[in-house]
Chain A
Amino acid sequence: MSDIAYPVRANPVTTEPRLARYILIGTVVVLIAILLFAPLIAVFSEALREGWSAAISSLSEPDARSAIQLTLLVAAVVVPLNAVFGIAAAWAITKFDFRGKAFLITLIDLPFSVSPVVAGLALVLLFGSNSALGAWFIAHDMKIVFALPGILLATMFVTFPFVARELIPVMMEQGRAEEEAALTLGASGWRTFFTVTLPNIRWALLYGVLLCNARAMGEFGAVAVISGKIRGETTTMPIMIEMLYNEYLSVAAFSLAAALAMLALVTLLLKSLLEWRYADLLSATRRH
């Protein structure tokens, strides 16, 4: 039991006294248990209050299934789009020198400082039937608000900065010497990107994608304003959870919430596993 809290490198001058370590670890574990694990356990225990079969059968209801499908579809569209955007933005910002760069970074960060409710409001103002643009879309029989495109736009808005924010600092630090070397050796632009840049940023990219994915699946506020809440059509998992909870179907609501948490946890565990499996590789790329 005595080595429960040994430091990474047992070098006494670069770590804290044993007592301090125990206190710090204890504080962290207790606070995490109260702040993070208690709500999670509450969700799972509510879901399983009537046993596994009730929880699982509530997930196979057609409305719940279509909500799961819609959420997965939204994530499948939004996450790759944001990844492409993030890579493009990071490439333009870190590999080139142009005016107004700081302002541009602030604009990319903007969705973080906008309340999701306001984001939904802005989209309704822009594409609702009372706006010129919205009226044009409706005249051409294209639905934006209260349909899939609106949900996609709202989700993209709130998850917008995640990938770019992860990539920009990493790529800034790495500079552009390696890419220049590759180009000098005659590699094409794309080849340079895929063989030189991408391996360097893959961890940051993976991390950004995972965060973006988790947030995309969990977004409620902005989507609630713009979804129209049509059962089995425009209800994402978070919206469906709120609806079920309001119908006193708390087992079904929490089962769906637990399923959503599991989806996110699986991706997070996957990330941890990859990090663990490729720890050496990871430290090698970080080192240089």
Chain B
Amino acid sequence: MRTGILRSASPLPGFGLSFGIMMTVLSIVVLLPIAALLGRGLTIGPADLWEMVNSQRIRSALLLSFRAALIASLFNLVFGLLLAWVLVRYRFWGRRLIDAAIDLPFALPTAVAGIALTALYAPNGVFGQLLAPFNIKIAYTEIGIWLALIFIGLPFVVRTVQPVIEELDHELEEASATLGARRIYTLYRVILPTLTPALLTGFALALARSVGEYGSVIFIAGNLPLQTEIAPLLIVIRLEEYNYDAATAIGLAMLLISFAMLLAINAIQIWSRRRMGDV
């Protein structure tokens, strides 16, 4: 096994064991189910798959899912960076509490998050009542979907950027300041490029996670076809119709698009790493 796969010999032991465990678990848990999905797609055939996905309803649902995920993840990109910076660099009352709470969206079941957010932002909710006089509606509109996706995607950017900021060398900043750069220039030209790979990773993870989100969104979205109907809901609808083929078709479409996005982001990341001289 060693000689077959390994590119160069390593003095360390345990390649067979660790590689074996990894491939076994990976195959059973991830590859086999995905293969079943792809296999189902193959038996349907590409022409029929395209037929099933190419309707206005599905296109608008896919567009909505990806648009909302993109908006929410962009917000999380900026806010997550800000949050990570403040948590690492400043000391203030309640910092530890906020730091501990960042992972909360992972822990709260998505349905509970959806119900809680809807209770807050519905027209008769605490925040909904405040916004109603200004004729701002959040629950049951696309903004509600953004909100739910911001909630569930929040930890990703913070948690990928935080360790990198902790490792940042103050000497770099000092050097930049000594050379006469203004603080804002240092932040933009010295610190931001260092954080870019981590930021991109966090962004990609948040994006991938929010595209597929179902549990929290169906409570706060109005679920109206062509307006606030997300793609995962369409999959569930097809499942309820016992139309596994169409459900598989939409599932595959989502899988392909998010996979392509992840690949693109990974490519940007590699490129930026090269440009930075492998930071």
Contact = CB atoms under 8 A, between A and B. Distances in A.
A and B touch in the complex (CB under 8 A): yes
Interface of A: 4-9, 11, 13-17, 21, 24-25, 27-29, 31-32, 34-40, 42-43, 46, 81, 84-85, 87-89, 91-93, 95-99, 106-119, 121-123, 125-126, 131, 153, 156-157, 160, 176, 179-180, 183, 189, 192-193, 210-211, 214-215, 217-221, 224-225, 237-238, 241-242, 245, 254, 257, 260-261, 263-265, 268-269, 271-272, 276, 286
Given A16-B187, A96-B19, A126-B36, 11 more contacts: A85-B25, A95-B10, A97-B10, A108-B26, A114-B212, A118-B254, A126-B33, A153-B29, A225-B239, A264-B104, A272-B99
Nearest to A28: B86
A46 to B, nearest CB: 7
A261 B247 CA distance: 32
A237 B109 CA distance: 9
Contacts of A39: 108, 113, 116-117, 120, 151
A183 B248 CA distance: 50
A94 B167 CA distance: 20
B14 A238 contact: no
Contacts of A95: 10, 12, 14-15
Given A36-B104, A113-B258, A286-B166, A180 B11 contact: yes
Interface residues of B, number: 102
A121 B247 contact: yes
A49 to B, nearest CB: 12
B209 interface: yes
A42 B117 CA distance: 8
Nearest to A180: B11
Contacts of A96: 6, 10, 12, 15, 19
A220 B89 CA distance: 36
Interface of A is mostly: helix
B31 interface: yes
Contacts of B208: 112-113
Contacts of B17: 88
B213 interface: yes
Contacts of B112: 43, 238, 241, 254, 257, 260-261
Contacts of B274: none
B33 A32 contact: no
Nearest to B102: A36
A254 B115 CA distance: 10
Contacts of A224: 215
B101 A115 contact: no
A6 B93 CA distance: 11
Interface of B: 5-8, 10-15, 17-22, 25-26, 28-34, 36-37, 40, 79, 82-83, 85-94, 96, 98-113, 115-117, 119-120, 126-127, 150-151, 154, 159, 166-167, 170, 173-174, 177-178, 183, 187, 205, 208-209, 211-215, 231-232, 235-236, 239, 244, 247-248, 251, 254-255, 258-259, 262-263, 266
A260 B109 contact: yes
B73 to A, nearest CB: 13
Given A97-B10, A118-B254, A215-B106, A156 B29 contact: yes
A123 B91 contact: no
Given A5-B91, A85-B22, A265 B214 contact: no
A97 B107 contact: no
B183 A17 contact: yes
Contacts of B10: 95-97, 176
Contact of B262 (A32, A106, A121, A179): A106
Contact of B109 (A21, A27, A238): A238
A116 B82 CA distance: 29
Interface centre among A25, A156, A192 (most CB of B within 10 A): A25
B109 A117 contact: no
Contacts of B211: 113, 115
